[in-house]
């Protein structure tokens, strides 16, 4: 059980099978080249149209406010772990897995076989961070878009919000919801995959099911003005 936040300032934080972290509302933050090497046991992830999915993992993080790679963090490996009951509802930046304005310092990061479920605020967020691959991932029961990064005009960061060379391959979103009290516009255009601005981004062999919202909600949303 975490009794406070963890700051990884350089170096690598390691997790292997059998590790169970109860965040108790705290966060883990990586800065100045700090990286994660979180690797559970390889297991079946999901198949078909997404109705057959395995959420069980032997490395788990629960009740985290967020796990965040902040400006200048290093390349990480996250394989076959679970992040559950995490994020902070409607709080900017408090997402279960959040890469924040790292540019190319995280290039080569692999997120494989990772489950994020019962997320209170998005799930997988590569924001202004380039060259990250999400493979065989599962986002299950998520509030607001599951796979997402900040729109270009959300906080006056302009092109810094762009993410380049992001790959979502065999990525699943199942159960993505936007309650009306979080904003009518977001509810109206809720999606599982929000494809933000950037170059070289790819989505392949992926699926979105059980997405709810307004008349224009969708599985995959590449909005106007987000050319790349």
pLDDT digit string, tens, across residues 25-54: 999 999 999 999 999 999 999 999 898 999
Cβ neighbours for 105, distance < 8 A, ≥ 6 positions apart: 33, 72, 73, 74, 75
For residue 120, pLDDT beyond 90: yes
Look at residue 24 in the predicted model and tell me its pLDDT: 98
Structure tokens at 33: 């080249």
- Its sign, for the CA torsion 89, 191, 202, 152, is negative
Please give the DSSP secondary-structure letter assigned to residue 215: T
- Mean pLDDT along residues 158-164: 86
User: What is the number of alpha carbons within 13 Å of residue 14 lying toward its C-beta?
Assistant: 3
Residue 1: is it exposed, middle or buried by C-beta count within 10 angstroms (0-12/13-18/19+)?
exposed
Look at residue 164 in the predicted model and tell me its pLDDT: 96
Q: Is 73 in contact with 99 (CB distance < 8 Å)?
A: yes
Backbone torsions φ then ψ of 103, nearest 5 degrees = 60, -135
Look at residue 156 in the predicted model and tell me its pLDDT: 55
Cβ neighbours for 86, distance < 8 A, ≥ 6 positions apart: 23, 61, 62, 63, 64, 65, 66, 67, 96, 116, 118, 119, 120
Per the rule left: phi > 0, alpha: psi between -120 and 50, beta: everything else, 33 is left
d(CA 162, CA 117): 26
3-state secondary structure of 180: helix
Please state, for a pLDDT cut of 70, what percent of the chain lies above it: 97
For residue 158, pLDDT beyond 70: no
Please state, for a pLDDT cut of 90, what percent of the chain lies above it: 86
User: What is the Rg, in whole angstroms, of the alpha carbon atoms belonging to the chain?
Assistant: 16
Look at residue 143 in the predicted model and tell me its pLDDT: 97
Look at residue 184 in the predicted model and tell me its pLDDT: 83
Task: Give, rounded to a whole angstrom, the gap between the first and last alpha carbons of the chain.
Answer: 43
Cβ neighbours for 183, distance < 8 A, ≥ 6 positions apart: none
Q: Is 108 in contact with 75 (CB distance < 8 Å)?
A: yes
Output the pTM of the full model: 0.96
Look at residue 186 in the predicted model and tell me its pLDDT: 84
- Mean pLDDT along residues 132-156: 90
Please give the DSSP secondary-structure letter assigned to residue 225: T
For residue 221, pLDDT beyond 70: yes
pLDDT tens by residue, 76-87: 999 999 999 999
d(CA 104, CA 164): 9
For residue 157, pLDDT beyond 90: no
pLDDT tens by residue, 166-219: 999 999 999 999 998 888 878 999 999 999 999 999 999 999 999 999 989 999
Look at residue 227 in the predicted model and tell me its pLDDT: 73
């Amino acid at each position: 059980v975490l009794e406070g936040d963890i700051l990884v300032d350089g170096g690598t934080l390691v997790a292997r099978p059998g590790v169970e972290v109860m965040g108790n509302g705290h966060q883990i933050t990586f800065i100045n080249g700090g990286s994660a090497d979180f690797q559970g046991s390889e297991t079946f992830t999901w198949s078909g149209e997404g109705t057959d999915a395995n959420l069980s993992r032997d490395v788990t993080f629960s009740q985290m406010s967020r796990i965040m790679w902040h400006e200048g963090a290093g390349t990480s490996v996250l394989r076959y772990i679970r992040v559950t009951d995490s994020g902070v509802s409607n709080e900017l930046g408090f997402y279960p897995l959040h890469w924040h304005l790292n540019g190319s310092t995280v290039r080569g990061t692999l997120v494989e076989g990772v489950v994020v479920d019962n997320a209170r605020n998005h799930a997988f967020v590569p924001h202004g961070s380039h060259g990250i691959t999400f493979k065989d991932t599962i986002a299950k029961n998520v509030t607001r878009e599951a796979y997402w990064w900040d729109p270009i005009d959300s906080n006056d960061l302009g092109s810094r919000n762009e993410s380049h060379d992001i790959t979502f391959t065999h990525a699943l979103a199942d159960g993505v919801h936007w309650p009306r009290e979080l904003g009518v516009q977001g509810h109206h255009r809720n999606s599982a995959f929000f494809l933000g601005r950037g170059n070289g981004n790819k989505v392949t062999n992926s699926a979105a099911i059980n997405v709810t919202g307004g008349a224009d909600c969708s599985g995959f949303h590449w909005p106007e003005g987000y050319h790349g």
